[in-house]
Structure 1
Amino acid sequence: MDQMMLMMVVGGATFLISMILVFAFAGGNGMSRQARRRLEEIGAGQKVAAAAKPKSQNSARRRAESSGSKLIDALVNRLVPNPDLLRSRLAKTGFKITIFRYSAFTLMTMVVLFLTCYFVYSLSILLSLPVAFAGGLFLPHAIVGFLGKRRINKFMKTFPEAIELMCRGLRAGLPISEAIITVGNDSPDPVGKEFRGIADAMRVGQSIEDGLWDVAKRIDLPDFKFLIIAISIQRETGGNLAETLAGLANTLRKRRQIKLKIKAMSSEARASAWIIGSLPFVMFFLLWLANDGYVMKLIEDPRGAYMIGAGLTLIATGVGIMAKMVRFEI
């Protein structure tokens, strides 16, 4: 009976992973090519259709983010609680990660964790299932959050320089549209990539404000929204936009200096936290090297598993509290 169950679980997991890979990479790419051809047709259309370009482009992009099958697309959008929020988080990473591929990776992670817990660590099904479910939801979410935060930090590092480059262009007599094109060509990614996208949108008939708000939805930064508001007010009422943007760039640079100063002042406390937090693991490793039989009693005894779990929970709680204490919003 155990052997039959083993064969059924392994066979089902293999089939599930194979189908996920096929739909995620084969079907998704086919739809992406179709969507790209549709976008090219829209871009090459007449000027009469230029006003409808943003809506058609967003619709085509949304279709490109779905799977190759309408049934699978409806299933994914029904299972995901908030597809728009997830789509926004995926866009922050800078990679072309569709909702379906994210869901496929989540399912694959759950299957791998379940097989690892059940067959490698010989845990029961009742324990393996919740561990696999929790890990499958947490790991992709944490990876996407890390990639998005890293890209936002890179964006903020070069964003003040991009604003100053825009200011120099405005003072030289360039219109705001040409200043945006200059920023896209001369700034490093991800700032340059986002501004090049705005320039491409303007070439096909989209307004500057709409292109900027599309970027604001992806990166979700208050400073970038302030830039959009300043440009919108200047285009409607006039005024010295260069001075306003110069003040914004100066504010962003001073804010970054304060963050670096706080990081330097709290470096000693963070180093102490790392040392204290790593001491239990270092001591466990040293004791294992000195006398492995003495240490293995803690692992082999069922009571030791509860003690290890309680200790890891307390360490994780302490690390989380200390991380909150040294995190400041400026």
Structure 2
Amino acid sequence: MENLLPVLMACGIVLTAFMVFMAFSGPDQAKIQSRRLSEMKDRHAGSGSAMIEAQMRRAINNRLGGTKMDGLAAQFLPRPEMLKARIKRTGKSWTMSQYGTASLAIAFVFGGLVILKGAPLALGLLIGVLTGLAIPHMAVNFLIKRRITQFNVRFPDAIDLLVRGLRAGLPISETLGVVSNELPGPVGEEFSAVVDKMRIGRTMDAALQETADKIGTPEFQFFCITLAIQRETGGNLSETLSNLSEVLRKRAQMKLKIKAMSSESKASAYIVGVLPFAVFGLIYSISPDYMGGFFSEPRLIVAGIGGLVWMSIGAGIMAKMVSFEI
């Protein structure tokens, strides 16, 4: 076992370095130049079939674009389309291959550290897999929540800017461009994406709905529904948006009030949920032989699995008790 550990660690390091190189290496430049020459020939060919073929090739290239490891990562990662949508919601220009490489690197590091500490090989592999899946997932969730929070904080200001532009006599399409230029952060980025889609021929409703699906916040869905209803029924759009801005501000205030009132319950739930695992980890780090029976004794293994199941059920119940939807 001791002779096998250095070999496993060396193989893991070599594999991780290879995956990092393949993930961050760009596509083949020769293939890019060949594709561009083919597109230029098709663009200037003049025949309708050649133009259609060029458009289809461009669409396929855009769909399959990315690094060399993107296709391989999409095959092994679960639900790649949903994962790709979640990565887009973070606002980062990450690829599937980079996400998969980060997961593998974290799994090798934590699993190797646990095995080098003297833990059984099965436990090291289990901890490596769990950390490799959990840490990138939690990081993406954190970035999504932070970006959505930043968006919701500035979104009422964007609506107020739209109201002022409409009252000044500007059309809604130009006021969207003003918002994209004046407001920084996620609000300006998303409105800039809407304006770009409208410039290439998409309707405003379709562009807004795509952005709403990407962001996934009720606030922006309210905005899209308000514009759609006003477009069909008519009325004073500036007054409607002004009322929507006031509603969104009151909604944000209610969220902050609920967060303040439930903070004590959330802290208690976090402490109760983390305490058993923290105590187990501390005792195991101090005296591995004392807690080692949970990985070798059948009765203790069954007891440990039962405890994990009940702790998971309790943590889920406490999470539901302290979560509030507005």
Q: TM-score range by the shorter chain?
A: 0.7 to 0.9
| Amino acid corresponding to residue 184 of structure 2 in structure 1 | P
2:25·2:67 contact (CA, 8 Å) conserved in 1?
A: no
Give the 3 Å change call, closer, same or farther, for CA 190–252 of structure 1 in structure 2: same
Which of the numbers 96, 109, 112 marks the counterpart of 2:109? 112
CA shift for structure 1 position 100 = 1.7
Q: What does the per-residue CA deviation read over 1:182-209, in whole Å, with 9 as the maximum and x for residues that have no partner?
A: 1111223110111112223333333322
Task: Report Cα offsets for 1:231-280 as digits up to 9, x if no partner.
Answer: 23444553322222222222211111111111222234445556777888
Q: Secondary structure at the match of 1:67?
A: coil
The answer for the alignment partner of 1:15 in structure 2 is 14
**Residue type of the partner of 1:21?**
V
Give the whole-Å Cα distance in 1 for the aligned partners of 2:90 and 2:154: 17
Q: Partner residue of 1:265?
A: 261
CA contact (8 A) 2:106 2:131 kept: yes
CA contact (8 A) 2:24 2:67 kept: no
Give 3-state SS (helix, strand or coil) of 1:190's partner: helix
Corresponding position of 2:24: 25
Describe how 1:172-187 pairs up with structure 2 within 5 A: 172-187=168-183
Matched-pair contact (CA < 8 Å) for 2:151–2:185: yes
Separation in structure 1 between the aligned mates of residue 104 and residue 271 of structure 2, nearest angstrom: 36
Superposed counterparts of 1:131-210, under 5 Å: 131-210=127-206
1-structure distance, mates of 2:143, 2:223: 24
Partner amino acid, structure 2, of 1:185: N
Alignment partner of 1:226 is 2:216: no
Q: Residue 104 of structure 1: CA displacement?
A: 1.5
Paired with 2:141 and 2:21, the residues of 1 have a C-alpha distance of 26
Contact 2:70 2:95 in 1 (8 A): no
State the distance in 1 between where 2:187 and 2:90 align. Answer: 13
> Is this contact kept in 2: 1:90–1:97, CA < 8 A?
yes
Q: Does the 8 Å contact 1:88/1:217 carry over to 2?
A: no
| Pairs within 5 Å for 1:87-102 | 87-102=84-99
CA offsets, 1:75-128, max 9 Å, x none?
A: 33322332221111111111011112111111222222221121234332x222
Q: Give the secondary-structure state (helix, strand or coil) at the position aligned to 2:92.
A: coil
Residue 48 of structure 2: aligned partner: none
CA–CA distance in 2 between the matches of 1:108 and 1:161? Answer: 42
Is the contact made by 1:20 and 1:104 (CA closer than 8 Å) also made in structure 2? yes
Q: 1:121-136 counterparts in 2 under 5 A?
A: 121-124=118-121, 126-136=122-132
Letter matched to residue 131 of structure 1:
I
The residue identity in structure 2 corresponding to 1:8 is V
Q: Distance in 2 between matches of 1:103 and 1:283?
A: 32
Once the two structures are superposed, residues 45-72 of structure 1 have per-residue CA deviations (whole angstroms, 9 ceiling, x without a partner) of 99xxxxx9x99987665334x323xxx4
Relative to structure 1, the CA distance from residue 229 to residue 13 in structure 2 (aligned partners, 3 Å threshold; closer, same or farther) is same
In 2, Cα distance between equivalents of 1:94 and 1:265: 31
Aligned to 1:49: none
3-state SS of the aligned residue for 2:325? coil
Name the stretch that deviates more: 232-241 or 78-87.
Answer: 232-241
Structure 1 residues without counterparts, runs of 5 or longer: 47-51
Aligned mates of 1:283, 1:119 — CA distance in 2 = 21
Q: Distance in 2 between matches of 1:329 and 1:55?
A: 44
* 1:73 Cα deviation after fit: 4.0
User: Structure 2: any 5+ residue segments left out of the alignment?
Assistant: 45-51
Q: Among residues 238, 241, 244, which one is paired with 2:240 in the alignment?
A: 244
Q: CA RMSD in A?
A: 4.1
Alignment check: 8 A CA contact 1:297 1:304 kept: no
SS at match of 1:239: coil
Conserved 8 A contact 1:160-1:253: yes
TM-score for the superposition, normalised by structure 2: 0.77
1:27 is paired with a residue whose SS is coil
Q: 1:215 to 1:282 in 2, by over 3 A?
A: closer
Give yes or no for contact 1:27–1:67 (8 Å, CA) kept in 2. Answer: yes
Change over 3 Å in CA distance of 1:56–1:156 after alignment to 2: farther
Higher mean alpha-carbon deviation, 308-317 vs 215-224, is at 308-317
How far is 1:134 from its partner? Answer: 1.9
Say if 2:70 and 2:96, in contact at 8 Å, map to a contact too. Answer: no
Contact 2:151–2:186, Cα closer than 8 Å, also in 1: yes
